Amino acid sequence: MLTIAVEGRVGDLTEEERVLLLKRRPRDEAEVRQKVQALLEEVRRDGDDALLRMARDFDGVALTALEVPRARWEEARASLDPTLRSDLERAARNIETFHRAQIPGDVEVETEPGVRLGRRAVPLPAVGVYAPGGRAAYPSSVLMGAVPARAAGVPEIVVCSPPGPSGEPPTEVLAACAIAGATRLFALGGSGAVAALAYGTASVPQVEAIVGPGNQWVTEAKRQVAGELRIDSPAGPSEVLVVASPNADPARVAGELVAQAEHDPEAAVAAVCWEAPLLARIRTELESQVNDSPRKAIIQEALRECGALLLAEDRNEALAFAEAYAAEHLVLFTDDPREDLKTQTTAGTVFLGEPSSVAFGDYLTGANHVLPTSGRSRSFSGLSVLEFLRFYTWQELSEDGAAAMSEAVGRLADAEGLPGHAAAARARSRAGGVA
């Protein structure tokens, strides 16, 4: 019998169940925080030596070098199955198309006569892209991080991904680096990779931003270095919430839960509907699909730890729960998903209608799959091209514009006790003798 963490009515959830579902924090969060802090300091202190120790201790490999030569990426791309290579290239094109469309244009505006202001976007000089490893290879995460950075014009795109038994990331990851336009690749994983990118070592360059998903160790490390540089969002283990109308296909609903649960035993997956017979059919389908999956053990653990099958009173309660849940992926298998979308403001990304499986967004549509988790989509956005840009403003005043502002600025500066400011402003007035 499949064990699911929470089953029952939305209105009958206990406080403990609501915390489990809505907060979605690992039980060992405090312990992980302390251990990550120590790992970050170790890399800051010992540099490459610390990274080599971590590869041995955590990845089980004795590395002779941290960087993977570009020639190896090109070999991997050339040796990749041609159909798979074509699929990755197709994904890269779609990602670039969608993210290029997000690049904002320059702004120039006159706020008063003779006072012109502008805002320009410029790419960051160097960024780090983290691509997870361990239980699976994730070339898609390389594309999701590196392709938008390239579209933004970032000149240095450094990828870190954990080494496999060979001492390198998987072939698919190497090939994706070549396809995505990365500039350097390091066989580094976990907190150590984040620390290396944040602080720099003899081998690994320091960057201005770190993006990409990862487990709780990666997420916590990004959180701790956020004061040193920019991070995208706390993108941890995968999540999905499916809202299903009474006529939804239970097999498709169950399939969405299985697809995200198979990522990680820490994944959070849930479905909510407002018809008890449908919920029962979803459970039956879920049990069948889990039993047939090669990743059965991972899915079972995810469902046992943070899975949910919930019954709402009606559509409104189901959608209200979805808004409170703030899922990484929200799936609307409802009669009018476009209308229901209007009620949702907190999800990382929303999939509308039964043809729109999360799997398409994970790989090929062009939208980014690096999204905030653990309810943090209430305040964070998913990865976009904006993460690779910084903005500065410029200001230009004509003599007439400066003169028109001089006395008002002088009075404001006097009120704040800043006579130098007042003098600088009044020197631009006509009475100040400026021609």
Residue from 321, 240, 305, 306 nearest 273 by CA? 321
Residue 200's region, left for phi above 0, alpha for psi from -120 to 50, else beta, is: left
Q: Which residue has the tokens 């239970």?
A: 250
Q: What are phi and psi of 335, to 5 degrees?
A: -70, -30
Strand order in the sheet with 239-244: 6-9, 307-311, 268-273, 239-244, 329-333, 349-352
d(CA 347, CA 69): 39
Residue 307: Cβ within 10 Å count = 25
Which is the catalytic residue, given 99, 263, 329, 369? 329
d(CA 384, CA 370): 9
- Residue 332's beta-bridge partner residues? 243, 352
**275 among known catalytic residues:** no
d(CA 146, CA 37): 27
Residue from 199, 283, 232 nearest 4 by CA? 283
Q: What are phi and psi of 331, to 5 degrees?
A: -115, 120
Roughly how many angstroms between the first and final C-alpha of the chain, as a whole number?
Answer: 88
**328 among known catalytic residues:** yes
Which is the catalytic residue, given 266, 328, 354, 387? 328
Residue from 363, 386, 365 nearest 142 by CA? 363
* Catalytic residue list: 328-329
